Structure 1
Amino acid sequence: MVRLFPRQFERPLHSLLTDLAQLLAGSAELLSRTLGQPSRDRSRALPALHENATRASELTARIGNRLAESLITPFEAEVLYEFALSMADATDRMERIAELTVSFSLGRISTPMLEAAQVVERAADLTVEAGWTLPDLRGLGEYHREMRRLRRHGDRLVERSIAELYTRGGSAADLLRGRDVAQGMLELLALLDRAARQADLLRIKDT
């Protein structure tokens, strides 16, 4: 059986990574639900999203400290830390997207953007599954491949949302605000893909 973590470090480090992935998935669900709400109701989710982003940052710091004490190779430690950082950055980006919709007082979010948020939910769920699988790297074979597919699909949805934004027209300020939110979603999808790439590096190294 292929093992990534030495037994004496496996349980606490693996648990921290799984906790971080669960925060990511929780924020993805919150973001998707928030974008589908009327503008006046979106601010209700901001405290929970902020709490998740704060906890994700704290967990990443703890993971970094644990990796510094572990017996795994420097390469594995660096990749795992980047995996954690990508999840924490994605959680922070979800909070930022929700904040933008509130501060910009955006009206109805377009259907393609809502569908892109659902893609993010699926990508976050995949990351949770990958976190469970990390101790046995053979289980990661499809993770990055599926994440790449999701990112391409999500990117197309966001691009369609941008096209609808310009077709609908409006003031230059409204167009820029909509673009900012769309850019945030593209960056979020890229961060989730980056997390998957880091996990896949471990799989490739182990083969």
Structure 2
Amino acid sequence: MAQFLARFFPQRSERPLYDLFAELAELLVQSADTHSKLLGHGVRERTRLAPRLHEQSTVAEELCRRIAQRLAHSLITPYEAELLYDFALTLSDTLDSLEHTAELLVISQVGALPTALLEAAEGIERAAELTVAVTWQLSRVRDLGDHYEQVRKLKRQGDRLVRRALGELYTRGGSAQELLPQHDVAESIRQTITLQERSARIADLLRVKDS
């Protein structure tokens, strides 16, 4: 009966909740854009941009808290509530991962990065844009279509780019003091890509459940 009411009154019970998810996804798009700019610039510009990622990550945590409160009083099944909360937390973790990459770059003062990592960052931006489209359809998840397949394709591409960057790094050689920071940055970018695939998989679980 509760699920029926939730479907029957989407304007009153669901739209405010899903607006919070859309706000969280838009924040991810902004962070992914900042992340790409940060990777492509030098130390001084990175130092200027990094605090923006911290601010965005902090806002994401607050949005997750608000989503949790709204879910606790929503007319949806516990299973759906758990998936939606996991979805929100994974988006927040993705922003944390972007911030972590920024911190590594600023602390270690890494120089120019391999082109492959810049291309991987572009894939992160594209996946973030796809996530926004998902949040617009959370009230009708059966319309998500091939979203998960698109993000999985981006993940495979991103993983290949990270591997290529690491290969270039080791081929070029250098001291451990030079190599380790760039290795850590590459692995942090890989973690961001993995988290984006995870959020897409959670959304797909919602779609399968609603089919």
Same fold (TM over 0.5): yes
Deviations 1:112-136 (A, max 9, x none): 0000000000000000111111111
What SS class does the counterpart of residue 135 from structure 1 fall into? helix
Deviations 1:62-87 (A, max 9, x none): 10111011110000000000100010
User: Match for residue 89 of structure 1?
Assistant: 93
* 1:61 partner letter: R
More off after superposition, 40-49 vs 5-14: 5-14
Deviations 1:99-124 (A, max 9, x none): 11111110001100000000000000
| Structure 1 residue ranges without an equivalent (≥5) | none
User: Match for residue 55 of structure 2?
Assistant: 51
User: Match for residue 167 of structure 1?
Assistant: 171
Q: 1:166 to 1:4 in 2, by over 3 A?
A: farther
Indicate conservation of the 8 Å contact 2:144/2:207, yes or no: yes
- Tell me the TM-score normalized by structure 1: 0.96
Indicate conservation of the 8 Å contact 2:32/2:98, yes or no: yes
For residues 44 and 168 of structure 1, the distance between their equivalents in structure 2, rounded to whole angstroms, comes to 29
User: Match for residue 109 of structure 1?
Assistant: 113
| Moved >6 Å (runs of 4+) | none
* 2:188 partner letter: G
The share of aligned pairs that are identical, in percent, is: 51
Q: 1:42 to 1:4 in 2, by over 3 A?
A: farther
Indicate conservation of the 8 Å contact 2:173/2:179, yes or no: yes
| Structure 2 residue ranges without an equivalent (≥5) | 1-5
Q: 1:5 to 1:63 in 2, by over 3 A?
A: farther
Deviation at residue 55 of structure 1 after TM alignment: 0.3
Deviation at residue 173 of structure 1 after TM alignment: 1.9
* 1:44 partner letter: R
User: Match for residue 39 of structure 2?
Assistant: 35
More off after superposition, 22-31 vs 134-143: 134-143
For residues 143 and 149 of structure 2, the distance between their equivalents in structure 1, rounded to whole angstroms, comes to 13
For residues 72 and 154 of structure 2, the distance between their equivalents in structure 1, rounded to whole angstroms, comes to 33
For residues 191 and 166 of structure 1, the distance between their equivalents in structure 2, rounded to whole angstroms, comes to 26
User: Match for residue 137 of structure 1?
Assistant: 141
* 2:94 partner letter: A
Indicate conservation of the 8 Å contact 1:3/1:137, yes or no: no
Residue from 62, 68, 72 that aligns with 1:68: 72
Tell me how large the CA RMSD over aligned residues is: 1.5
Deviation at residue 4 of structure 1 after TM alignment: 10
For residues 198 and 47 of structure 1, the distance between their equivalents in structure 2, rounded to whole angstroms, comes to 29
For residues 144 and 72 of structure 1, the distance between their equivalents in structure 2, rounded to whole angstroms, comes to 23
Q: Does 1:155 align with 2:159?
A: yes
Aligned residues: 206
* 2:187 partner letter: Q
- Tell me the TM-score normalized by structure 2: 0.94
Residue from 196, 202, 205 that aligns with 2:206: 202
